[in-house]
Amino acid sequence: MATIRHEFYETDEYLTLSIFDRGADPAQVKVDLENRKVSYTHGDKSLVLEPLKGQIDPSTSTFTVGKVKVEIRLAKAAPGRWGGLTGDAPDPLANSAASSTSSETTTRRVDLKKNWEGITTEILSSEKEKSTEEDPNVGGDSTLNGFFQKIFGDADDDTKRAMMKSYSESGGTTLSTNWDEVKKAPVEVKPPQGSEWKKWN
Asked if pLDDT for residue 22 goes beyond 70, the answer is yes
CA distance 82 to 89: 8
8 A C-beta contact, residue 138 and residue 130? yes
Asked if pLDDT for residue 101 goes beyond 60, the answer is no
Handedness of CA 102, 104, 110, 111 (dihedral sign): negative
At residue 38 the predicted structure's pLDDT band, cuts being 50, 70 and 90, is: very high
CA distance 146 to 60: 55
Greater model confidence, 161 or 201? 161
Asked if pLDDT for residue 100 goes beyond 50, the answer is no
8 A C-beta contact, residue 46 and residue 68? no
Name the DSSP letter for residue 134: T
Q: Across the chain, what does the average pLDDT equal?
A: 81
Contacts of 104 by beta carbon, 8 Å cutoff, 6+ apart? none
8 A C-beta contact, residue 65 and residue 24? yes
**Helix residue ranges per DSSP H, the chain:** 94-99, 116-127, 141-154, 157-169, 179-182
Which residues make beta-bridge pairs with 39? 32, 48
At residue 196 the predicted structure's pLDDT band, cuts being 50, 70 and 90, is: confident
Question: With 0-12 CB in 10 A as exposed, 13-18 as middle and 19+ as buried, what is 38?
Answer: buried
CA distance 49 to 87: 9
Q: What is the reported pLDDT for 99?
A: 45
CA distance 172 to 151: 16
Across the range 81-90, mean pLDDT stands at 81
129-184 tens-digit pLDDT: 666 666 666 666 777 777 778 888 888 999 899 989 988 888 888 888 889 988 89
At residue 17 the predicted structure's pLDDT band, cuts being 50, 70 and 90, is: very high
**Closest of 77, 7, 10 to residue 49, by C-alpha:** 7
Q: What is the reported pLDDT for 72?
A: 94
At residue 102 the predicted structure's pLDDT band, cuts being 50, 70 and 90, is: very low
Greater model confidence, 39 or 136? 39
